[in-house]
Structure 1
Amino acid sequence: MFTGIIQAVGTLAGKEQRGGDLRLVIRSPGLAMNDVQLGDSIATNGVCLTVVELTGKGYVADVSQETLAYSTLSGLPVGARINLEKALTLSTPLGGHLVSGHVDGVGTILERREEARSIRFLVEAPTELARYIAHKGSICVDGASLTVNSVDGPRFDLNIVPHTQQETIIEGYRPGTKVNLEVDVVARYLERLLLGEKAVESSKTGSGVSMALLAERGFLR
């Protein structure tokens, strides 16, 4: 688990295809690596990756086909800047929100505009994720815990303050930039709980929480 508070910005120093999977070499001079061991997890642009080798200047991690299908990692060019965060411990302040590092899909930056010292971004998420994104709720974008300012269907608005601009890769986003998205894990579990016994049926039919189901459960009148 992670908090979505970026600890350092690293760079992609190398990438290598390995039997259909991908091996990444991350250079992370700003990330304290003295307590990192083989097998530890590091959120790499929001993707939980396992350290398979320590290089002295960073780490090496393998990326499975499943992860490549749901994230932007396969398209990152060598030299790309990357948000980094080590896994939280029981003594880690939870300054953001609970983040699993299991990316749900890829979003697209639609608009960027300056607003005083902040930057406002309009982001479009995959339609299947729209129901998990709430006004003033939390969302993880390339590993950074951010607050949703407004929602319109699959599109949502973010306000990025100067500190976040300086400490993450977000300042470099432009219209067309692809970003990793992870919705709030609480929303996913809540959906399953609301489905109750219908969760088994849902997995076969593809149906989810509907207005009729909410009414049946007493949430609507």
Structure 2
Amino acid sequence: MFTGIIETLGKVDRLETEGGNLHITLSSSLAQELKIDQSVSHNGVCLTVVAINGENYTVTAIEETLNKTNLGGLKVGELVNLERAMVLGSRLDGHLVQGHVDQTAQCTAIAEQDGSWFFSFEYDPSLNNVTIEKGSITIDGTSLTVVGSGSHSFSVAIIPYTYEHTRFNAYRVGTVVNLEFDLIGKYVAKLVALQQ
């Protein structure tokens, strides 16, 4: 489990395909604190550390993960949002995040407003995921509050700190992001669907 509070950014140093798997090697200030078999969120995707070498570490994404997330589109030199798994007993500053991406979305608008930014996204409604006004959403692993909710679209407001310390400053209209919808909301939606 994660909180959606991004600790730092990692830089993609190497991408190696092996069958349907992608081995992703990143450089990060977290590398020396990691252990083999540890779970780390990469743009909101929970991946297992399989190798560590100084300031670099490697994780592996399987084909299903590559098909359902934006990790298959990574390029060498690209920055990735990173968060280590939460520690039980610590403050939960974001919200409960599993690190299991539900689907991707595309950025449709970016507007700067009085020192903050509003980002709008659209996603495929056929998967029956929903947002609600003032509900939680995870974008590339970042825990955020929905400020505009439509049937297959939503917006979020980004403060300067989040803009500067996450991938948000690299987003453009058309950027594909990973979404994890609110855990409680997903269970409620499933129960409602079963009653129909």
Matched, 1:170 2:168: yes
Q: Which residue of 1 aligns with 2:179?
A: 181
> Per residue, is there more strand in 1 or in 2?
2
Shift of 1:107: 0.5
Larger gyration radius, structure 1 or structure 2? 1
After superposition, residues 99-114 of structure 1 pair within 5 angstroms as 99-114=97-112
Q: Which residue of 2 aligns with 1:67?
A: 65
Structure 2 counterpart of 1:40, which letter? Answer: Q
C-alpha separation between the residues in 2 aligned to 1:57 and 1:171? 24
User: Does the Cα contact within 8 Å between 1:9 and 1:82 map onto a contact in 2?
Assistant: yes
Shift of 1:131: 4.1
TM (norm. structure 2) is 0.95
Structure 2 counterpart of 1:8, which letter? Answer: T
Q: Which residue of 1 aligns with 2:155?
A: 157
C-alpha separation between the residues in 1 aligned to 2:169 and 2:128? 24
Q: CA RMSD for the aligned pairs?
A: 1.5
C-alpha separation between the residues in 1 aligned to 2:42 and 2:80? 7
Residues 59-102 of structure 1, C-alpha deviation per residue, up to 9 Å, x if partnerless? 10110111011100011110001100000011332100000000
Q: Which residue of 1 aligns with 2:36?
A: 38
Q: Give the count of matched residue pairs.
A: 196
Unaligned runs of 5+ in 1: 199-208, 214-221
Greater relative contact order (Cα < 8 A, sep 6+): 2
Structure 2 counterpart of 1:61, which letter? Answer: V
C-alpha separation between the residues in 2 aligned to 1:122 and 1:130? 19
After superposition, residues 1-221 of structure 1 pair within 5 angstroms as 1-29=1-29, 31=30, 33-34=32-33, 36-129=34-127, 131-195=129-193, 198=194, 213=196
Q: Secondary structure at the match of 1:134?
A: coil
Q: Could you say if the C-alpha distance between residues 90 and 32 of structure 1 is closer, same or farther in structure 2, counting changes exceeding 3 Å?
A: farther
Structure 1 counterpart of 2:23, which letter? Answer: R
Identity %: 40
User: Does the Cα contact within 8 Å between 1:50 and 1:61 map onto a contact in 2?
Assistant: yes
C-alpha separation between the residues in 2 aligned to 1:57 and 1:51? 13
